[in-house]
Amino acid sequence: MKQSREAGNRLLEIVLDLAGVEGHIGLFPHERFDADAIGASVALARSFEKLGLKTSVIAGEEVPDSLSHLPGLEDLIVFSDEYDCPVFDLALAIDCHEAGRMGLRGDCFLKTPLRGAIDHHVYTEDLGFLDLIDPAASSSCELAFELIWDLEMHLGRPILDQTTAILLLAGVITDTGRYAYSNTTPLVLRQAALLMERFPDLDLAELHYNLYDRTSIPRLQIKGDIFSTITTSADGRIILAHVTQAMLKRRGAPDDELSNLASEIRAADNAAAVFLLIETESGDIRVSIRSNSCFDSAAFALGYGGGGHVKAAGMTLTGMTMEEALARMGKEAGEWLWACSREGGHE
């Protein structure tokens, strides 16, 4: 995309200019960060530091157990009311492009006049001149790799290291479903090949295990509990599942990677779209949407202030019970599926 390439070039120029004056860059992954958001944030921070820049990765929460195996996360700043947010020379939103996706950190991000974004989610608003946003990219880590690679080409020296390589691969692996989703492109595979060639000691099998296979008894138990809640609408084409706080507390299970189950449920025969509803401690309901058919997950989520991709999106529901939310999602999703089928969408 020409517009994203131009934004990437402008970002590159500003980063190099700031390196000349030992500038300070703040990086802000979205709330409840995943491997892609934190991987891109820390990979970029490590790369910028090798140029002589100061960086701060400001997260909204501690590293969840599901990502604790990733290297390089020791210096994350966990935002709190006590944090004295500076005015950075440049603030970057990572894997998001709106302060609203940052929770309480939003005001801290907006405090810096010079702001940009590195993101691959669908957007509807006008982009800023430093917004490197490409919905055709598999992940924000793919875009981060391209930016770091361009820095290497410009400087004529290596910047990537093995820790950065692991972080970039973790983001791409999770956002492409282990290179199984339709967003897996030749570029993504070439990036992975280059990283593995440059860092032959990188244990890809171990990374895959930690990201997808490592589990615990409580996680296995809550997985079974969630599967047992499955209901359907639209003649079985729309699948709904849910988990309440009471269910989580009964098993002593965390909720940091439950959205992955929506992708697993999507494999069911005849599934057009999956809605996984997760009750939060505040009583709000997070919804993970995964789709196979003409059903546009991002467009549906946008109607509730969420967003994402055509085949994977998320949103938050407020002011309703789980029963009300399930009924509404089942009805509205069925109507969306009917409409897109009528318009000739691929089933």
Supply 160's token pair: 């990537």
Q: What is the CATH number of the domain that holds 227?
A: 3.10.310.30
Is residue 205 located within the same domain as residue 225?
Answer: no
| Domain match, 226 and 159 both | no
Kindly tell me the burial class for residue 288, based on how many C-beta atoms sit within 10 Å of its own C-beta (0-12, 13-18, 19 or more). buried
Which residue range forms the structural domain that includes residue 77?
2-211
H or E element that contains 219: helix 217-227
> What CATH number has the domain bearing residue 19?
3.90.1640.10
Domain count, the chain: 2
User: In the prediction, which pLDDT does 344 show?
Assistant: 65
Residue 57, in any domain of the structure: yes
Please report whether residue 184 resides in a domain: yes
- 66 and 10: one domain? yes
Q: Among 179, 196, 211, where does a domain finish?
A: 211
Strand order through the sheet with 238-243: 231-233, 238-243, 273-279, 285-291, 312-317, 307-308
pLDDT string in tens for the chain (347-residue length): 556 778 889 999 999 999 999 999 999 999 999 999 999 999 999 999 999 999 999 999 999 999 999 999 999 999 998 899 999 999 999 999 999 899 999 999 999 999 999 999 988 777 889 999 999 999 999 999 999 999 999 999 999 999 999 999 999 999 999 998 889 999 999 999 999 999 999 999 999 999 999 989 999 999 999 999 999 999 999 999 999 999 999 999 988 778 789 989 999 999 999 999 999 999 999 999 999 889 999 999 999 999 888 899 999 999 999 999 999 999 999 999 999 988 765 55
| Domain-embedded: residue 232 | yes
Do 198 and 230 lie in one domain? The reply is no
Give dist(CA 339, CA 296) in Å, integer. 11
Q: What is the pLDDT, as a whole number, of residue 5? A: 76
Regarding whether 84 and 206 lie in a shared domain, the answer is yes
Residue partners of 279: CB distance under 8 A and separation at least 6: 242, 243, 244, 245, 285, 322
For residues 250 and 243, is the Cβ–Cβ distance under 8 A? no
Distances (CA, A) of 337 to 152, 183, 238, 242: 46, 22, 8, 20
CA–CA distance, 12 with 332 (Å, rounded to integer) = 44
What pLDDT, on a 0 to 100 scale, did the predictor assign at position 346?
52
Write down which residue in 177, 211, 245 finishes a domain. Answer: 211
347 assigned to some structural domain: no
| Domain match, 162 and 275 both | no
> Looking at the domain assignment, is residue 207 inside a domain?
yes
Residue 134 and residue 150 in one domain: yes
77 by Cβ neighbours in 10 Å (0-12 / 13-18 / 19+) ranks as middle
Same domain, yes or no: 295 and 173 = no
Q: Verify that 57 and 173 share a domain, yes or no.
A: yes
Residues 15 and 125 reside in one and the same domain: yes
The partner residues of 235 in beta bridges, in order of sequence, read: none
Decide: helix, strand or coil at residue 88: coil
Residues facing 312 on adjacent strands: 290
Token digits for 304? 């509730």
Instruction: Establish if 269 belongs to a structural domain.
Output: yes
- Whether 174 and 223 map to the same domain: the answer is no
221 and 207 together in one domain: no
Domain boundary at 175, 196, 211, which?
211
